[in-house]
């Protein structure tokens, strides 16, 4: 991937996040967007080798508008500062977990899982974890998972869970041995990568290696989520 082209545009839009500049440099945006989206069919194909459920997805299914929704945000910048794709079998707006890659200068990452689950589904996930704790631990406490994603609450270049309750969720035992997994408000894990990660000749395979490590956790949670979708 020509990350030089993409990263330069993203640095420029970060410094000039206004409609006048964007209109004058629209061709640069289109070139960066085209270069990014050109990779996506290859990414989907590679992920489909170990997760066939995503094989039907298209570029449009996994990408987002570059224009920000500023209605409820104090930041009124009209444009995003990154490019990303979320490859999930049921679509990017579903609760079904999937795989995400993100290009942003200084903040590139790979992520997988699901987030912003409704309370009833989150409760069901917690019950499933308690009822099948050994299976869950085999998904999230094996050496490869810990190496790429860490443990709940760890945020040094990697992480597991975007938000966590400060106390035990209502209706669950406060003295549960693995309470850290019940306090999670989402089941999303991520791994930061360098800005030049995506310029490697092997980046798609390297990314797939990370996603495959996260897949058992995704499958565990999706087995619950899919009962509600």
Whole-number Å distance between alpha carbons of 44 and 41? 5
Of 213, 158, 222, 211, give the one whose Cα is nearest residue 187. Answer: 222
Residues β-bridged to residue 188: 113
Whole-number Å distance between alpha carbons of 123 and 174? 15
- The two tokens of residue 25 are 């440099």
The pLDDT value recorded for residue 121 is: 96
The pLDDT value recorded for residue 169 is: 93
Strand 109-114 versus strand 187-192 pairing type: antiparallel
pLDDT at 69 > cutoff 90? no
Whole-number Å distance between alpha carbons of 197 and 214? 19
- The two tokens of residue 67 are 């224009």
The pLDDT value recorded for residue 44 is: 98
Residues β-bridged to residue 87: 99
19: confidence class by pLDDT, cuts 50, 70, 90: very high
Tens of pLDDT, residue by residue over 113-160, are: 998 899 999 999 999 999 999 999 999 999 999 999 999 987 789 999
Higher pLDDT, 135 or 77: 135
Tens of pLDDT, residue by residue over 32-44, are: 999 999 999 999 9
Tens of pLDDT, residue by residue over 173-206, are: 999 999 999 999 999 999 999 999 999 999 999 9
């Amino acid at each position: 991937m020509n990350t030089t082209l993409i990263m330069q545009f993203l640095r420029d839009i970060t410094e000039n996040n206004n409609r006048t500049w964007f209109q004058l440099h629209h061709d640069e945006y289109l070139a960066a967007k085209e270069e990014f989206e050109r990779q996506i069919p290859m990414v989907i194909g590679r992920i489909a080798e170990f997760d066939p459920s995503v094989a039907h997805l298209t570029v449009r299914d996994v990408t987002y508008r570059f224009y920000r929704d500023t209605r409820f945000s104090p930041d009124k910048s009209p444009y995003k500062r990154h490019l990303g794709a979320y490859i999930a079998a049921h679509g990017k707006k579903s609760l079904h977990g999937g795989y995400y890659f993100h290009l942003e200068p200084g903040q590139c990452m790979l992520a997988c899982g699901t987030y912003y689950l409704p309370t009833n589904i989150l409760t069901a996930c917690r019950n499933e974890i308690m009822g099948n704790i050994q299976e869950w631990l085999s998904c999230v406490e094996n050496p490869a998972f810990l190496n790429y994603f860490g443990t709940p609450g760890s945020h040094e270049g990697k992480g597991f869970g975007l938000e966590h309750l400060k106390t035990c969720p209502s209706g669950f035992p406060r003295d549960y041995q693995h309470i850290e997994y019940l306090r999670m408000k989402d089941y999303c894990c991520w791994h930061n990568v360098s800005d030049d990660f995506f310029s490697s000749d092997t980046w798609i395979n390297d990314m797939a290696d990370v996603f495959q490590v996260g897949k058992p956790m995704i499958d565990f949670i999706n087995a619950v989520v899919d009962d509600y979708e």
